[in-house]
Structure 1
Amino acid sequence: MAMQSRALLGGIYRAARKLKTPSCSLLSGTRQSSSTSNGLGKLYELRIYQIWPKEMKPFIELSKEWIHLRTAHSPLVGYWTSEIGGINDVVHIWEYDNLNQRAEVRQALAGDSHWISSYFSKILPMMSRQENMLLHTVGDSNLVQPDLRGVYELDTINQGSCHQFATNKGDAKLLGTFQSVLGPTNTGYQLWFHSTSQKAVENQTKGHKEVGQATGHRRLLVSTPWSPLQ
């Protein structure tokens, strides 16, 4: 089993390295993030849970009380509820050095009876759907922002036509641009900060003027009380 796991991880890393230098760059005029031993730099897991409507409030209350059992194992980038672009969804991003670290975290949580009884076993029936994607950053990222207070935007953009991502949206702050490694293929993601929801809408037109329209999906996100990004 251990040999099979190592072979699987090796195959993922080899495939991911091919994505590191796509035929067209995700962001024009930006340098690639520095790599670690896996050839990709930090890895990020984007998770989206859809919660049954009647369970949304209990889910938030449970998470507020017990999420510290999870954040003790690996860094949480941000945790949000989807205001527009998804109903009763929660969106969260976790950082890992590599997939070996992620496997160790999941193994530790599986053996943590406190985590399972207090939180995990209780939230499972609250969710109608779960999805996750493995990402790596492209260009510079600024994911640690302790002083921000506002709303966030997660753009999912299909890259089949080698679409260039926006690097400027009015007074919005670009926190990170990501490329998919596992999950949807030929897909990029951008995380933006806006001072208000209204500014998030106004800033969209300025981003469109820079690079034109693209197909994909856009979510307006509101931070949960335990999210590092507020």
Structure 2
Amino acid sequence: MALSSARRALQPLLSCTPTRVTRHARAIPTPPRVASCLRKSCFSISAVTNEESKPGGEQPKPGREETKPDRVPSFGNVPPLYKGHYFGPEVEPEVSEPEPEEPSTDESTKSRPAKVAAGANRLIKSFLFGTEESRKEQEVLERSYSTQLMRGKYVHEIAFHEVKPECSPKYVNLISEIYPQIAADPLNKVHLVGSWRCVVGDLDTFVTIWEYNGYSGFHETYYRIHSDHKFIDYLGKVRPLLRSRHTNLMQEFSFWGGTAAPRDLGGIFELRTYDLQPGRLLEWETSWQKGIECRRQVMEPVGAWFTQLGSLNTVHHLWQFADLEHRKLSREKCWELPGWADTVHDTVKLINKMDAKILVALPFSPLKVSCFPQICVPL
């Protein structure tokens, strides 16, 4: 009864302006019980009135509709740019007419005070700024380590996929289909170096190395494949199979001479990883280069890289052996060759951590096994 009377009392107030609401409210007697009902009724009536004022319930404001993205951001959202976008069109330098040279003065005609002043000036410049030879040496030392160490224009990507143990067969089937398609597309500026499964080390880990035509080739390829519905479908299928993913972008060492071309090598591969102390990469490379020829005499090299993006100050080496016994004999032979012991002594003090994985190639890998009996490891 009190609620209905309160609503009747509030009916004229709802059509009034705020100033009139105050006058009407003061004129209404408000016993404690009625006041409580009034407060409850005000909230309920105003809520109903607001809902009725919006036909069909609350409507979103135009232009403010929330859209859920179909997929997470990727390189498919970042179109590649070309060199002209950064530096503008290349312009040929203007060739100006040579200015007429002033007649040269014979050194013998210079007065002795002038000679002394010129010599003193050269001495002061040499003392303050260094000689021309020392400045050139300093410029060489100040270059980026990567500029001195890297070979050619290629960028390599090494990808580590840690797979759930029970999902390894399904994972291999998925990448066996999509990886060759990516490598075979002529519009992709990439080719597949190799793909392996780890059998000693981090088990159920798969390693893949790609070679791109520079950073522009990496970006263009990633943009294309992340815009392809086939690759997007592959990502949706492969992600539930993984425990983690990690990639590094690398450059080849200049002394290596290039990553091995697609071919059939021996039975197993060894991926050695060195975590170096920051700032010691150039020193490590200098020492390692002296002893690398020792290992070439008894081992089959595949590739050597240092990271530029991802896990920095990291070096990866890939070697091939017939089997683990062949690896053991080859490493023992290295210690008999001159120079190898010095290389180990000079490089070990520059390393924070080392890791060695034994890999077997997957069937579609360009670098694979066929010359020697394979190590049969069930998936």
TM-score range normalised by the length of the shorter chain: 0.7 to 0.9
| Structure 1 residues 142 and 111: CA distance shift in structure 2, 3 A | closer
Q: Does 1:116 align with 2:232?
A: yes
Structure 1 vs Structure 2 CA RMSD: 2.8
Deviation at 1:87, TM superposition (A): 0.8
Secondary structure of the structure 1 residue equivalent to 2:263: coil
Give the alignment's TM-score, normalised by structure 2.
0.49
**Number of residue pairs matched by the alignment:** 207
User: What is aligned with 2:17?
Assistant: none
- Output the amino acid matched with 1:146: R
Q: Does 1:125 align with 2:240?
A: yes
Equivalent of 2:268 in 134, 139, 151: 151
Q: Does 1:212 align with 2:350?
A: no
Gapped runs of 5+ residues in structure 1?
Answer: 11-16, 26-31, 36-40
Equivalent of 2:361 in 200, 220, 223: 223
Based on CA coordinates, which of the two structures has the bigger radius of gyration? Answer: 2
CA distance in 2 between partners of 1:57 and 1:3 (Å):
35
In terms of fraction of residues, the more helix-rich structure is 2
CA contact (8 A) 2:80 2:220 kept: no
Query: What are the equivalent positions in structure 2 for 1:68-217 lying under 5 Å apart?
Result: 68-71=180-183, 72=185, 73=188, 74-117=190-233, 119-138=234-253, 139=255, 140-160=257-277, 162-163=283-284, 164-165=287-288, 167=292, 168-169=294-295, 171-207=298-334, 210=340, 211-212=343-344, 214=348, 215-217=353-355
- Which 4+ stretches in 1 moved above 6 angstroms? 1-7
CA offsets 1:135-175 (integer angstroms, 9 cap, x no match): 10112124204132321111111333544435233632112
Give the alignment's TM-score, normalised by structure 1.
0.78
- Output the amino acid matched with 1:43: V
CA distance in 1 between partners of 2:182 and 2:79 (Å):
28
- Output the amino acid matched with 1:224: L
Deviation at 1:84, TM superposition (A): 0.8
Deviation at 1:65, TM superposition (A): 3.0
Deviation at 1:5, TM superposition (A): 7.5
- Output the amino acid matched with 1:123: V
- Output the amino acid matched with 1:20: S
Highest relative contact order (Cα 8 Å, sep 6+), 1 or 2?
1
User: What is aligned with 1:29?
Assistant: none
Percent identity over the alignment is 21
Q: Does 1:20 align with 2:152?
A: no
CA contact (8 A) 2:301 2:318 kept: yes
Q: Which moved more, 1:180-189 or 1:161-170?
A: 161-170
| Structure 1 residues 3 and 113: CA distance shift in structure 2, 3 A | closer
